[in-house]
Amino acid sequence: MSTRTSPQTASAPGKVILFGEHAVVHGRPAIAVPVTQVQATATVEPAPSGSGLTLIASDLGQSISLAAAPRDEPLAVAARLTLAHLSSFEPDATLTVSSTIPIASGLGSGAAVSTALVRALAGFLGHTLESAVISTLVFEVEKIHHGTPSGIDNTVVAYEQPVYFVRGHPVERLTVGAPFTLLIGDTGARSPTKSVVEHVRRTWKRDPARYDALFDQMGDVTDEASRAIEAGDVDALGPLMDENHALLIELGVSSSQLDELVEVARFSGAMGAKLSGAGRGGNMIALVEEDFAEEVTEALREAGAVRVICTRVTTTE
Ligand code: PMV
């Protein structure tokens, strides 16, 4: 194994969940796709002998040595897991991460930062890790952010492919029969996934029959959407998104802001819309024909979206 003397840079995309959030924590399927318009980047550069590994989060203006980092510091956890996986010594290097992915808004920022870090550090140590290995390492870091993550974020971000995901099952890459366009509208309200997931778990425990039935319905919608995506039946996806949003309202994870943006998107020409991710804040997504993208974007902005990202969902080789 050889430590590089030249800087190593790696990146990872953001993501959105198209169908099945929350239900996926409870064993039902979900669909997620990478969002390459936002990215996390990690660079590892050689440092003087004996200096050890320094971790820098440039967006936050934070710098800490690996040796001094708390046990549960996410960057340090990702670095330690990578070194342990490679049975490597701690290199003398500076590892800098930065990201254009908004945090706590359902765009997979934590998973992307960890993925970029693992890739760059492994590269610096002369290794290229497989997506499955990266996903497994990042899952361990995700537990710090999420408590009981389903594993969908680390999977879609590490594989950089649309995925059909069921907790505990091998990942299934989804073939996109006909590319389609999504708008991602940010409410600007931060919403920590962990607390929303915990809230859902508490309500489920109080009335398992009712909530299991909701999760089953979400699972059925996801399965139907997966068939439509593979068949290139884009027209079928809009109503399925609407249906999924209605179920998420019933689950109690939407918000007036999310409902407003979803309504505005539909009214201004989207084929369907729903919240995406944990809910209570964060982002919503709208399916649009390309000709309507600008009009719907404008309407979302006027209705208070702080950012609208336009992304094209397709299968990449
Ligand atoms: O990170 P978010 O906000 O996209 O939430 C992930 C989706 C959940 O299903 C709510 C949680 C999980 O671990 O799958």
Nearest-atom index, ligand 1, CA of 200: 10
- Beginning with the edge strand found earlier in the chain, give each strand of the sheet holding 307-313 in spatial order: 272-276, 283-288, 180-186, 307-313
Q: CATH 3.30.230.10 spans which residues of the chain?
A: 8-173
User: Which residue out of 109, 141, 193 has the highest number of ligand 1 atoms within 8 Å of its CB and is therefore the one to mutate?
Assistant: 193
This prediction has a pTM of 0.95
Rg (CA), the chain: 20
Q: CATH 3.30.70.890 spans which residues of the chain?
A: 180-313
CA of 7 to the centre of ligand 1 (A): 33
Catalytic residues: 153
For domain 8-173, the CATH class is: alpha beta
pLDDT string in tens for the chain (317-residue length): 456 668 999 999 999 999 999 999 999 999 999 999 999 999 999 999 999 999 999 888 899 999 999 999 999 999 999 999 999 999 999 999 999 998 878 899 999 999 999 999 999 999 999 999 999 999 999 998 777 899 999 999 999 999 999 999 999 999 999 999 999 999 999 988 889 999 999 999 999 999 999 999 999 999 999 999 999 999 999 999 999 999 999 999 999 999 999 999 999 999 999 999 999 999 999 999 999 999 999 999 999 999 999 999 998 76
**CB of 269 closer than 8 Å to CB of 295:** yes
DSSP letters spanning 78-91:
HHHHHHHHTT-PPP
Alpha helices in the chain (DSSP H): 74-85, 109-124, 131-146, 152-159, 193-206, 208-231, 234-251, 256-267, 293-302
Q: CA-CA distance, 3 to 64, in Å (whole number)? A: 21
**What does CATH list as the number for 180-313?**
3.30.70.890
Nearest-atom index, ligand 1, CA of 15: 4
